Structure 1
Amino acid sequence: MFGRRTAVITGASSGIGAGLARHSAGLGMKLVLADIAAERLAEFAGELSATGAEVTAVVTGVADPASVEALADTAYTLPRTPSGRCPQARSTCW
């Protein structure tokens, strides 16, 4: 059911965002992970990729409109475009 969907998750490398990313990966969703902490984001994206998840990591500062625009551009260029939106704490998936 969720295998054809894409989750875009901000604050993805720790806390609630990481939990949402793990859960979404478990549902078979493609992931676009965003966080301002580049090293931590790359490490976490690698961890999820090693489990077979399809992951794209984008260093993003949500306070910077250009950074958020770049995140959206990345998400919408993927074969499966984001669908739906589920905001929670520091993370959002479209």
Structure 2
Amino acid sequence: MVTQRVLVSGRVQGVGYRDWVVRTAQRTGLTGWVRNVRDGRVEILVSGEDETVARLIEGCHEGTPLARVDHVEAFAAEDEKRHKGFTKRFTA
């Protein structure tokens, strides 16, 4: 198991990006959350098997058809509490 914090920049708010992350994470059994950040980025905290988390992060470079991803930054993190599923959170 691995936990990664991911920051995605570009045109990723208002284009269904968070919903795409939730659907993808739930379909693959990942846990965590996704939220918009006031500076225009999307933040993701994701936990799961190494390969599954890596595939989600790779997919973040594309996202939805309306998104334009400029940069994806992922780094190791600790899950402050174990999540039972994957949810969308309010803007931070």
Instruction: Please indicate the TM-score interval, normalised by the length of the shorter structure.
Output: 0.3 to 0.5
What is the TM-score when the length of structure 1 is the normalising length? Answer: 0.34
What is the TM-score when the length of structure 2 is the normalising length? Answer: 0.34
- From the two aligned structures, give the one with the greater helix fraction: 1
Instruction: Tell me which of the two structures has the higher relative contact order, counting C-alpha pairs closer than 8 angstroms and 6 or more residues apart.
Output: 2
